[in-house]
Amino acid sequence: MSLNYSPIGVFDSGLGGLTVVKELIRQLPREHIVYYGDTARVPYGTKSKESIIRFSHENTRILLKRNVKMVVVACNTSSSYALVQLRKHFHLPIVGVIDPGARKAAEVTRNRKVGVIATPATVNSRSYARAIFRYDRAIQVSSQACPLFVPLVEEGWLRKPVTTAVAREYLKPLRKTGVDTLVLGCTHYPLLKSVLKDVMGAKVALVDSATEVAAEVKRILQDRQLLRPSAVRLFPSGRRARYSFLISDRPQQFEKTAREFLGYNIKAVKI
Amino acid sequence: MSLNYSPIGVFDSGLGGLTVVKELIRQLPREHIVYYGDTARVPYGTKSKESIIRFSHENTRILLKRNVKMVVVACNTSSSYALVQLRKHFHLPIVGVIDPGARKAAEVTRNRKVGVIATPATVNSRSYARAIFRYDRAIQVSSQACPLFVPLVEEGWLRKPVTTAVAREYLKPLRKTGVDTLVLGCTHYPLLKSVLKDVMGAKVALVDSATEVAAEVKRILQDRQLLRPSAVRLFPSGRRARYSFLISDRPQQFEKTAREFLGYNIKAVKI
């Protein structure tokens, strides 16, 4: 059967990448999706470059076994460190989350001052600064690692005063620089949007790369004529899109966390 | 060479177990120690029982390859889920951190109301409640999962107002129960002692199991005549104690975190 009917593969260090899946489903409702969350080794954002690269290769291989037609690296940390190597090693389209977010930020900013919040590993990689620089060399990028945001989201403390206090602490230096655009450089952060808006003020635009990533995936599938056709009559596989969720560990509170990211309940298979 | 000269093996999900090593060095300054921190898969406290058991077996095997004479499971989550199985499977003395802490809490409490703070996995296992119950059936145990404490410690926010606010939020239910003793059921928590004292009040005793675990290790080595002898003349190995630190990943800020737990700088080998 042609690759058109194959699923899009998506991997993340854990469940945060489900925010990208949510957007893929919205923009590409006919596409099958296989998601793999490496919940046994989550988080990646505090770990070393070499481990992040090794884990990313292993995750890609798991998706390839499921016959995916392309791979979305729905993890900022993996995208920062492993994308170039993955593209060299595997011969199918691979999309990361850094470049689409960087492009959007370059489009959105008016004063050419962009802030990036992300995990320590993503910040240390300087991947966003480099990507934004490719679009506009005049943009000044300020980055801030926010390692407590992921556990705050996973604890479900999305609107607590404590969360606002943590955000105030982390964002203080960024506010001083006068950025008018803030890139949410981690798939967990869109869940903190209301807190981040409160702290940064209504005039600062928040860039959530999930929307941009899904648009990029759509563009690639169109360009390569890999979209799943909408003719439903001839093939049984022409029916509803199928979603598979694979995980390497079934963490505490799995169902609750998955529902927060995706918006509904899922069944996942531990492999 | 006799087992007396072999090292004590210690493992943890990450670097928190170094608080136990610190206490072992204090109480058993002549003993060689091999530490293994599974920093590639840290944390365990939010993961599933079956993964925690598998990881604990793998960690024990790594220590056995280093010819250890006993194993200290310096991780509350591993001790909660894997200790019984490890003892069945491996034939050397294995000490966990739950029982020594539980015994101490049972000794210390006056009003027989004990609080336990720990990771979600440790709380769900009910391991502390069962262990305390074995020492005194009349003790009422109240438990509270505090998943944000580990990332707060790893961020180095040991005395920030935000940390106090998080602690207030978590400890509110425990304060209402009127506990006079609080077990720090995670090797990271001793670093939050000053915040915890502030929040719980000076009358509540804090039980840090590291001290008790080291005392238990000493007792076992004495009973089995496995202490390293102090005669230094005959054997070259009779010199200073040697400490080896093995890790599965060299995380971001490794040196800083290790220094916080242990009190001084270490060199670690990634395996």
pLDDT tens, position by position, B114-133: 999 999 999 999 999 999 99
Domains and CATH numbers, chain B: 3-97+211-270 (3.40.50.1860), 98-210 (3.40.50.1860)
Of B34, B52, B75, B220, the catalytic one is B75
Cβ of residue B47 closer than 8 Å to a chain A Cβ: yes
The pair of structure tokens assigned to A15 is: 């469940």
Q: Torsion over CA of B226, B230, B236 and B239, rounded to 10 degrees?
A: 110
CB contact under 8 A, B47 and A251: yes
Q: Which pLDDT value is given to residue A234?
A: 54
Per cent of chain B over pLDDT 70 is: 97
List all residues 6 or more positions away from A200 whose beta carbon is below 8 Å from its beta carbon: A171, A174, A175, A182, A206
Report chain A's mean pLDDT, rounded to a whole number: 93
Q: Helix, strand or coil for residue B23?
A: helix
List all residues 6 or more positions away from A191 whose beta carbon is below 8 Å from its beta carbon: A19, A153, A158, A260, A261
CB contact under 8 A, A251 and B46: yes
Lowest pLDDT segment from A62-71, A150-159, B174-183, B241-250: A150-159
Distances (CA, A) of B58 to A4, B19, B54: 42, 22, 6
Burial of residue B21 (CB within 10 Å: 0-12, 13-18, 19+) is: buried
- For residue A69, which of A245, A221, A212, A213 has the smallest C-alpha distance? A221
Examine the pLDDT at B241 and tell me if it is beyond 60. Answer: yes
Pairwise CA distance, residues A209 & A74, whole Å: 10
Reported ipTM = 0.87
Q: Which pLDDT value is given to residue B256?
A: 85
Report how many Cβ contacts below 8 Å link chain A to chain B: 72
Examine the pLDDT at A266 and tell me if it is beyond 60. Answer: yes
Beta bridge partners of A33: A8, A243
The HSE-up count of residue A132 (CA atoms within 13 Å, CB side) is 28
- What's the one-letter identity of residue B57? H
Instruction: Please say whether the beta carbons of A151 and B147 come within 8 A.
Output: yes
Q: Which pLDDT value is given to residue A235?
A: 56
Chain A residues within an 8 Å CB radius of B249: 47-48, 51
Chain B residues within an 8 Å CB radius of A124: 252
pLDDT digits (tens, 9 = 90+) for B56-104: 999 999 999 999 999 999 999 999 999 999 999 999 999 999 999 999 9
Scored b (16 or more CB within 10 A) or e, B230-240 reads eeeeeeeeeee
Instruction: Please say whether the beta carbons of B124 and B80 come within 8 A.
Output: no
Cβ of residue B238 closer than 8 Å to a chain A Cβ: no
Which chain A residue shows the shortest CA-CA distance from B253? A46
Which chain A residue shows the shortest CA-CA distance from B14? A47
Instruction: Supply the pTM of this predicted model.
Output: 0.90
DSSP of A80-139: HHHHHHHHHH--S-EE-SHHHHHHHHHHH-SSSEEEEEE-HHHHHHTHHHHHHHHH-TT-
Of B68, B118, B146, B186, the catalytic one is B186
CB contact under 8 A, A162 and B160: no
CB contact under 8 A, B251 and A124: no
Q: Helix, strand or coil for residue A155?
A: coil
8-state DSSP, B110 = S
pLDDT range class, residue B232, cuts 50, 70, 90: low
